[in-house]
Structure 1
Amino acid sequence: MNFELTEERQMLQDTLRRFLRDRYDTATRNKILNSDTGMSSEIWSELADLGVIGALFTEEQGGFGGKGFDIAVVFEELGRAGVVEPFLDTAVLAGGLIADLGNEDQQAHIETIIEGKLQLAFAHGEPASRYDLTRVSTTASEKGDEIILNGRKAVVVNAEAADVLVVSARESGEQGDADGISLFLVPRDAKGLTIQGYALLAGGRAAEVTLDDVVVPASARLGAAGDASSAIEARIAAANVAQTAETLGAMDTACRLTKDYLLTRKQFGRPIATFQALAHRMSDLLIEMEQARSAVILIAGHLEADRGTRERHVSATKNLIGRVGRLVGEESIQLHGGIAMTQEYELAHIAKRIVMADHRFGDVDHHLERFIALAAA
């Protein structure tokens, strides 16, 4: 496997890194986090103009990337800068499902997404589903040319800002069955749709979504009835590539901030980086970082592989990134001391982001059990 970035990906990485270095500092992020929307529409538009969203879609879909390494390059830089805008939810998840399953009319949304003019949210997780992608109890009942949706969705990231929600619902089968799950495009202002929003600890906003006799036309269905499960799993795999790469970027920032602090902070007349015990702890972090980087390369390189190979790499990488991320987050704070806990210091946000990443799309224990099951199968 060639680990070198292509010329196009290298250009994308350099451009994105320069832009975020100039435009996305700690003060800017804190201002965004304290806003009502939890995101900056100005920065979103500027990043869209740079082609960041287009890099997350294939050429056939209207973009210029869409492969595992394209996703990893973009999200590592977003994680390195601590960007809180919902690129994962609008482009990789909801936008990706429209691109994968949508008909010609529905796929017309992709151009608008790439231009940064359409916000989306993926409403799939439910209060009792935990990390099980097939545990869907929200119902979809067909009545003539209409679909009636009823149920609740939990922790729907970007729901408040979304123009359209991609909602999963069960048309047949029992809770836990892979068959019978469909996806529907539901406008933000649909009658019977209730959104109760809140801020997330790692940045951005999410919401609890209630669907009470929400009526949408049958044409709002994405793909064939009851056949969305495999597409959802594939998109969650792509989201895991994005999130693990984003966490890797955040860990890289945490290590850089810690190294700089150890070289700057003096005790007994010399930098504390010269103390052997602290130097050894920092070395351990850098070694773990290299292992994490290798895992992200593997998951990105196997995103287009067969389902069994892809999902084994997903679970292996999520488990490793979760363990290394917790180590990096905790050690970075310990090596800094009290300053690391202040909101005005960059590490405070980065460390929370690293640790909370483990709780989305499955934590270390979930993916350890899942990897064992996939390997046995």
Structure 2
Amino acid sequence: MNFEHTEDRRMLADTLNRFISEQYPFEVRNAVAGSAEGLSPAVWQQLAEIGALGALFPESEGGFGGAGFDVSVVFESLGRGLVVEPFLGALVVGRALAAAGTPAQKQALAGLIDGSTVAALAHDEPGSHYELSRVATRATRTATGWQLDGAKAVVLQAEAAQLLLVSARVAGDIEAEDGISLFLVPADAAGVQRRGYGRIDGGRAAELTLQGVQVGSDALLGAEGQGLATLELAIGWGVLALCAEAVGAMDVAKQYTLEYLQTRKQFGVPIGSFQALQHRMADLLLEVEQARSAVINAAAAMDSDRVTRERALSAAKVSIGRIGALVAEEAVQMHGGIGMTWELPLAHYAKRLVMIDHQLGDEDHHLQRYIALGRQA
């Protein structure tokens, strides 16, 4: 199988990398990441205009890409620049809309693709631990639609979002796989409270409280009580995106470390000439290529059957969790004390690599999931 990117994907990667290096250097990125908004609307619009959002969706949904490799190309470039704009929410919510939306609901995809709508997934809850089926938020039928009550935790870029994809239970106990529904909720709907805060790796998230939130019957996405499959598919695209983002961040951390070893001198010679550091760096380079291979495998499996797809995604997330932590630790250690300073970009790449492991399921969670899925193969 040929895993080389098409010319269109290479051109997209070149365009994105050039834009990020010229318009989103580390100083700009850090200012955006630490701002009260946690994103730059101007940068978001520019990235949409050059096709970064359209590449995430197939032509049938208004995009011009949509394959696993298209998503990985975009997010690898985003990882290289530590971009904090809300791409992950657009991808996950958009994929759920594409999979289960009605023609009327799918009209929202146009806003996601042109950047005029910011979307966020509101699924994780206080006390949950990555389990997709653990949903305590309740949805109750009303005369005009549904009422939502509950709480959601660590909703990325929720303060900037206009559209929320909310998981809520219409039947069953808190762990049941059946009985979960998905709802499209305006972020400014009455009863939605957002408490925002800055994330340690840049950008913002929020805790959501849903108190008597009223939505119409047209807010239900997909069949009533059968939202878990759609949620799993959409989050699977998010897992692929995070893994590709991590590879992009690893490449930059690796390059920073190589340059440091070649310029930092001790006893009158570059420390990169020391055999012990050469061995550590060689091991690191091999591990990064292993991570890249895992992402390639996951991207290639996105159109496969459910078990094959989900096993490849979990395998990639396990590799990314282990290798990401290794790259962060080794790169910082080989830089010495300077590797921990706020002013050095490397420290921010290390933080992001560590935090990616905790998004959408950490290494331990996905290892257990990979094993469980193997029993279904």
Q: Bin the TM-score by the shorter chain.
A: over 0.9
Q: Following the alignment from structure 2 to structure 1, what is the Cα–Cα distance between the partners of residues 27 and 317?
A: 30
Q: CA deviation at 1:2?
A: 1.0
The runs of 5 or more residues in structure 1 that have no matched partner are none
CA distances 1:139-168 after superposition (whole Å, capped 9, x unpaired) = 000111221000010111111000111111
TM-score by length of 2: 0.98
- Tell me the residue number matched to 1:304: 303
Q: Following the alignment from structure 1 to structure 2, what is the Cα–Cα distance between the partners of residues 237 and 118?
A: 22
Q: Following the alignment from structure 1 to structure 2, what is the Cα–Cα distance between the partners of residues 112 and 186?
A: 15
Q: Following the alignment from structure 1 to structure 2, what is the Cα–Cα distance between the partners of residues 341 and 256?
A: 17
1:202 aligned onto 2:206: no
Q: CA deviation at 1:20?
A: 0.8
- Tell me the residue number matched to 1:144: 143
What is the 5 A alignment of 1:12-23?
A: 12-23=12-23
- Tell me the residue number matched to 1:334: 333
- Tell me the residue number matched to 1:44: 44
Q: Specify the code of the residue in structure 2 equivalent to 1:32.
A: V
- Tell me the residue number matched to 1:97: 96
Q: Following the alignment from structure 2 to structure 1, what is the Cα–Cα distance between the partners of residues 161 and 193?
A: 13
Q: CA deviation at 1:186?
A: 1.2
After the TM superposition, which segments of 4 or more aligned residues of structure 1 sit over 2 Å from their partners? none
1:365 aligned onto 2:359: no
Q: Following the alignment from structure 1 to structure 2, what is the Cα–Cα distance between the partners of residues 113 and 92?
A: 9
Q: Specify the code of the residue in structure 1 equivalent to 2:74.
A: V
CA distances 1:100-124 after superposition (whole Å, capped 9, x unpaired) = 2221121111111111110111100
Cα-Cα RMSD? 0.9
State the identity %.
53
Would you say how many aligned residue pairs link Structure 1 and Structure 2? 376
- Tell me the residue number matched to 2:62: 62
Q: Following the alignment from structure 1 to structure 2, what is the Cα–Cα distance between the partners of residues 341 and 287?
A: 24
- Tell me the residue number matched to 2:88: 88
CA distances 1:177-211 after superposition (whole Å, capped 9, x unpaired) = 22111111111211111111111111111111000
Q: Following the alignment from structure 2 to structure 1, what is the Cα–Cα distance between the partners of residues 113 and 364?
A: 36
Q: Following the alignment from structure 1 to structure 2, what is the Cα–Cα distance between the partners of residues 368 and 146?
A: 40
Q: Tell whether the 8 Å contact from 1:123 to 1:166 is kept in structure 2 after alignment.
A: yes
Q: Secondary structure at the match of 2:104?
A: helix
TM-score by length of 1: 0.98
- Tell me the residue number matched to 1:119: 118
The runs of 5 or more residues in structure 2 that have no matched partner are none
Q: Specify the code of the residue in structure 2 equivalent to 1:30.
A: N
CA distances 1:313-353 after superposition (whole Å, capped 9, x unpaired) = 11111111111111000000000012121222110111000
Q: Secondary structure at the match of 1:154?
A: strand
Q: Following the alignment from structure 2 to structure 1, what is the Cα–Cα distance between the partners of residues 360 and 223?
A: 25
Q: Specify the code of the residue in structure 2 equivalent to 1:347.
A: L
- Tell me the residue number matched to 2:258: 259
Q: Tell whether the 8 Å contact from 2:249 to 2:353 is kept in structure 1 after alignment.
A: yes
What is the 5 A alignment of 1:107-186?
A: 107-186=106-185
Q: CA deviation at 1:253?
A: 0.5
